[in-house]
Chains A and B, each alone.
Chain A
Amino acid sequence: VQLVQSGGEVKKPGASVTVSCKAYGYTFSDFGISWVRQAPGQGLEWMGWINTYNGNTNYTQKVRGRVTMTTETATNTAYMELRSLRSDDTAVYYCARDQDDSTGYFDSWGQGTLVTVSS
């Protein structure tokens, strides 16, 4: 099992960013995917979850309205788009595989993608 994320991004305030997460080594649609971020020197913040089978999502209130999580089953890839970026969105963004569908236990993680928001 491996999750491989896209590379780092530098964005200006107000812009949008999309991070991808390509899955290898398992049946993609059998396991949910969450996105978790970590600001520099800070703790972990769960952003949301997507059911990779039917596309159902659940987002934390903090980013709801600015985030969209999608999947492309043909390529075993999950995407996280964050819009109207602010400086406090600067963080390492991780995708993580749920141990089942929606237990919330993340047994495999991507390598992380640093998103820097700066003018």
Chain B
Amino acid sequence: DIQMTQSPSSVSASVGDRVSITCRASQDISSWLAWYQQKPGKAPKLLIHAASSLQSGVPSRFSGSGSGKDFTLTISSLQPEDFATYFCQQTKSFSWTFGQGTKVEVK
């Protein structure tokens, strides 16, 4: 299986900050990558697919970049509703796998 490694595992930030989360695949996955946001007790929400395509309805402060093995999710100006856990996911090949998650916390 392709392993996905996120960093950092947690980040403390303030409203208005620029936050970046990275995700590294154990092998080349081209652009077969998604990013999800999950809040406590809720199902995940798709933010980005195909590494950089913003899902419909998702605010433009979220952006994704990268290809191959290295990917980044950036929140340009953190809003109060963005404090959550973020997961990357590769879909290059079955079994689809997720990163371990990055928790964005209040500083």
The number of chain B residues with a CB under 8 A from chain A is: 24
Residue B97 contacts which of A46, A94, A107 (CB distance < 8 angstroms)?
A46
Note all chain A residues with C-beta closer than 8 A to B89: 44, 46, 104
Residue positions of A touching B, CB distance < 8 A:
34, 36, 43-46, 49, 58, 60-61, 94, 96, 99, 103-107, 109-112
Chain A residue with minimal CB distance to B48?
Answer: A105
Can you name 27 A-B pairs with beta carbons within 8 Å? Answer: A36-B44, A43-B87, A43-B98, A43-B99, A43-B100, A44-B44, A44-B87, A44-B101, A45-B98, A46-B89, A46-B96, A46-B97, A58-B95, A60-B94, A60-B95, A61-B1, A61-B95, A94-B43, A96-B43, A103-B91, A104-B32, A104-B34, A105-B34, A105-B91, A106-B44, A109-B45, A112-B43
A2 CA to B91 CA in the complex, in Å? Answer: 23
**From B55, B90, B96, B98, residue with most partner A Cβ within 10 Å:** B96
The answer to whether B95 and A105 touch across the interface, beta carbons within 8 angstroms, is no
Q: State how many angstroms separate the Cβ of A48 from the closest Cβ of chain B.
A: 8
Chain A residue with minimal CB distance to B97?
Answer: A46
